[in-house]
Structures are given as C-alpha cells and as structure tokens.
Amino acid sequence: MQEFIKFLTAGSVDDGKSTLIGRLLYDSNSLFDDHIAEVKKSTDSNFDGELDFSLFLDGLASERAQKITIDVAYRYFNYDQKKFIIADAPGHEQYTPNMAVAAANSDKIIILIDATKGIKAQTIRHSYIANLFGIDDVIVAINKMDLVNFSEEIFNQIRAEYLEKTAQLNFNKINFVPVIATLGDNILEKSKKINWYEGGAIIDYLSEISDKKNIQNILRLEIQNIAKQGETRYYQGLLSQGSLQIGDEIIAYPAEKNAKISKIIHSNNEVKNIEAISSIAVCLDREIDIDRGSILSSPLALPHFFDSFNCNLIWFSNKKFLLENNSEFLVKINHNYLRAKIDKINNIIDVLNPAITGLQNEITFNQIANVNLNLAQKTAFDLFENNKNTASFLLIDKNDNETIACGIIANSLSSRGSSKDKQEEFLIELSQLVAKYFGGKTQI
C-alpha cells in the first residue's frame, strides 16, 4: 500500500503559505482547468497578469474577501510517483486551534518566513506546536527573497535566529530553503536567480521518506460503530496501526476480554488480512462487551489502561483556567466522552522567550501546559510517540460544549490506582518491548 506524505504549511500572517501551496499545485499540474479559470477571474489587477495562487487554497468566500486563511484547507496531489496530502493552516493567532489539528495529522511541516519581516511570534508558536505533535522533519521556507534583493546575508541571519529560538525543540531535521512563492523559485525546481543556494527545492525535501519507528506490531482497532445483521455483530472502526488476519487473537478494552477475529470486511469485500490505515468491520468468534469507543488490541502489545495520565495541552479558550476552581471537564478520547479534572499544572511553556516556567495555578489562551489529568474511569490509550490516534484528545467545557484545549498523552500515571494497576503497567511495557524487538512472535 502506497503511503501519503502528509505535511502542513504554517507560520505568521501573510508569509505566503497559501501562495506557496497554490504554486506547488499549479506547477505539478494538479489543478482542473475550470479551477484555474475561476482563479484567473478572481485575481485582481495588483498581480500584473500573474495568478493569485493563494486563491487555490482560500476556498471560503469570507477568506477571499478578507484575503486571509481561516479554516485548514486540504489538498491532494501526485508528483514523481509519490502521493501528498497538504494542509494549509491559518496564520492568525485566533485560529491556532485549526493549526494544531492540522499538525496532529501531519508528518512534516513547512514553516514560512517573510524575508522582509523576519521571524514573528506565530513562527515560533507554530514550531512549538508542530514539535509537540510529534513532527520532527521541518522545512523552513524563507519567502519573498526577490524583495530583499536575493540577499544571502538576510537568509543566513533568519536561519541563525530560527535555530536559536527553536534550540529546545526535538527536531530531527531542519532544511532551510530560499523561495519566491509567487514565481515558483525553489518550489518544484531550483532557482536560477538565487545562485548562491546549494540545497534542494521544496519538493526534494518533501519527497524524502522519514524513517519511522517499527511499531507495526502494536495493533489498534478503534471501534466507532456496531452493526447487527441477523445474529451477527459487525464491529466497525479504524485500524490505525498494525495488521489483522483471520484467526488473530485480540483483547477488547475496556471490557478486558479476549476473542478471535472470524471475519474482516474492507470496502464491502470480505478479506483474509488487512493492514493499517484502513476503515474496516470485523466479526469475532464469541460475543464480548464492545461499544463505541472500545479499542481492540493484540495481546502482544497492550495499551495503557488507567484513569490518569500526564499530558501536554494547547489551551484554545479565552476563558482562563484556574486550578483552585477544581473545574470538571469532558475529555473526548477514542470516541469516548469521559469526565475529567486537571489535577496538577507541572509547567507552562513560554514559546515567545522561549522558557519553561515551573508549577503554575492557571492556564491562559494559546499557552502550552504540561498537566496531570484525572479521569472518572479507566480508559485505554497509548503514548503519543507510539500512536497519534489513541494518544490525542480534546478537552471540552461541560457547560457550553466549547472545545477549550487539545492534548497529547506523554505518560500514564498509576498513582491513583492499586498495586494491580502497577502490575498492569509493567505488563504493558514488557509487551511493547516484546513487540518491538521480537516482531510480536513471543507470548508473555
């Protein structure tokens, strides 16, 4: 199965994110003629006959009127026998939640920086959010190089400043590319105007396939619906990780019951085996308690199953959180809604300094906070480094249903549980080591 290379563009307002992606789609012949004709009509006279490439991404009427990106625009294209999914994220501070959602579903990021303005607060904030959501492959596109007379000195100054301000982040790879998004320089092809630059074009770095951790043996089937036909129950959901075949043994959470796979349905066809990432339906050899929100796991690599965890939150709400209020929220995780409370704020990351402050009593808009979260009941989850799907969640205000934060799980916490919980945690860690180093062939 050919995988998509998933990436997003981010950065501050007017740095040229939508224009770069529009140019990428146009130059790779990924647009329909009627779409190009529509953009030609919509391009105003300020573009001197050139297309306004940003309009290929800013699809909402309100976005076009304001000339800003509000929602995340997703596009698909093929190039050089590779498939890409693009997410164009808003640059405005009030739309940071949209960018965070795009980051949670991406493997790479292009950070746009306007060469005439330099690094802004959102440039660094978006870099921190990308890092928080597990992106470690970064392309820094320093745009509008024609407006600074193709200055290598300005390029190097911005490069040095970005590296300094993101030194605390765990990026594995950072490539800096000088570009002119409106003209297509260094996007699909190397620019002849920027002759001092010896690196590749944007597409060269996007096309590199990152080495991923070998976690395919960690089976996760997230149940979204149960359908019944006659006496047969079909458990429908996303196989977000691993593979399945007829006869495989699974453990269902939260029931903690075993069964075997007796049937697999994919795209209305019965199949003998299936690999992630696929939406499927399965039948089991015996009836066990499975509802929407259940997770089916291999016995060889168990999920964490506790009522508390340590996590990183991005606070979206204008309503300040005060620890002393002991507020109760809803957590939406793996199609479950669970009551939860923030038990402790371990630290707040100040992305603008950058610095990490110690114990705090409050969280405010756009802050990134590491907290301990207590749930009303045990639930199955993974750590974010192992599975983005089963380790990310939303925090929701119970009173007005406002989504006030998104989070990722960093570690499980068993201090609220019994000695049995600690034994379970040991077995989880042992099973994951077995799956990682022995290919999932050793039972424990």
286 lies in the same domain as 230: yes
| Residue 74, domain member (yes or no) | yes
Say which residue, 246 or 350, is predicted with more confidence. Answer: 246
pLDDT above 80 for 440? no
pLDDT of residue 152: 97
pLDDT above 60 for 387? yes
Domain enclosing residue 236, as ranges: 220-297
d(CA 66, CA 51): 18
Token pair belonging to 290: 């499975």
CATH number of the domain at 313, please: 2.40.30.10
| Residue 433, domain member (yes or no) | no
d(CA 27, CA 33): 13
For residue 336, the cross-strand partners are 333
The whole-number average pLDDT for the span 359-363 is: 85
pLDDT of residue 212: 54
268 lies in the same domain as 360: no
Whether the bond between 354 and the residue before it is cis, its omega within 30 degrees of 0, is yes
336 lies in the same domain as 384: yes
pLDDT tens digits for 264-299?
Answer: 999 999 999 998 888 999 999 999 999 999 999 999
pLDDT mean across residues, the chain: 83
d(CA 28, CA 62): 27
Q: How confident is the model at residue 62 (pLDDT cuts 50, 70, 90)?
A: very low
Share of the chain above pLDDT 70, in %: 77
Give the residue from 269, 297, 325 where a domain finishes. 297
Q: How confident is the model at residue 86 (pLDDT cuts 50, 70, 90)?
A: confident
| Residue 429, domain member (yes or no) | no
CB 319 within 8 A of CB 384: no
| Residue 272, domain member (yes or no) | yes
Give the residue from 174, 206, 238 where a domain finishes. 206
364 lies in the same domain as 389: yes
- Which of 8-12, 25-29, 97-101, 251-255 shows the highest mean pLDDT? 251-255
Number of domains in the chain: 3
pLDDT of residue 310: 95
231 lies in the same domain as 202: no
pLDDT above 70 for 15? yes
| Residue 214, domain member (yes or no) | no
190 lies in the same domain as 268: no
CB 316 within 8 A of CB 129: no
| Residue 418, domain member (yes or no) | no
Amino acid code (one letter) for 66: Q
- CA proximity to 310, closest of 404, 215, 406, 414: 414
CB 432 within 8 A of CB 218: yes
160 lies in the same domain as 225: no
| Residue 331, domain member (yes or no) | yes
When mean pLDDT is compared across 118-132, 209-223, 427-441, the lowest value belongs to 427-441
Q: How confident is the model at residue 68 (pLDDT cuts 50, 70, 90)?
A: very low
116 lies in the same domain as 132: yes
Give the residue from 297, 321, 346 where a domain finishes. 297
When mean pLDDT is compared across 3-7, 66-70, 186-190, the lowest value belongs to 66-70
| Residue 424, domain member (yes or no) | no
Model pTM? 0.75
- DSSP 8-state secondary structure symbol assigned to residue 208: P
